[in-house]
Amino acid sequence: MIRHTVVFTLKHAPGSADEDGFLRGALVLADIPGVEKFEQLRQVSPKNDYAFGFSMEFADQAAYTGYNEHPVHVAFVRDRWVPEVERFLEIDYTHL
């Protein structure tokens, strides 16, 4: 199992329609084959200044690779992520 996580801050004003539109638009990622347990999360700790997180799981490396190469993911990154995300940190985990 691979747990894919990313924390990020958007270029949009907090609470704006643009912020909401980005988060709603990201829901397409949950429907990509191989994606399990997709979650959108709001960061609440004062220990960092990222605003949101996405988390999802994949059964194996093949499922994760399929997600990364899927046309819906590629289009989302190109059309929404790159123009709208200010900064991010991506971490992928497997069990020890």
pLDDT digits (tens, 9 = 90+) for 13-27: 999 999 999 999 999
Task: Give the pLDDT confidence score for residue 28 in this predicted structure.
Answer: 98
Give the three-class secondary structure for 46: coil
Name the strands in the sheet holding 36-42, side by side, starting at the edge strand that comes first in the sequence. 36-42, 52-58, 2-10, 85-93
**Which option is the CATH number for 2-93: 3.40.50.720, 3.30.565.10, 3.30.70.100, 3.30.870.10?**
3.30.70.100
Alpha-carbon gap, residue 92 to 62, rounded angstroms: 14
Confidence bin at 4 (pLDDT 50/70/90): very high
Please tell me the pTM assigned to this model. 0.92
Q: What is the pLDDT of residue 88?
A: 98
Domain ranges (residues) in the chain: 2-93
pLDDT of 39 reads 98
Instruction: Determine the Cα–Cα distance for residues 64 and 66; give it in Å rounded to an integer.
Output: 5
pLDDT single digits (tens) 58-92: 999 999 999 999 999 999 999 999 999 999 999 99
Smallest CA-to-CA distance from 56 within 69, 40, 43 is with 40
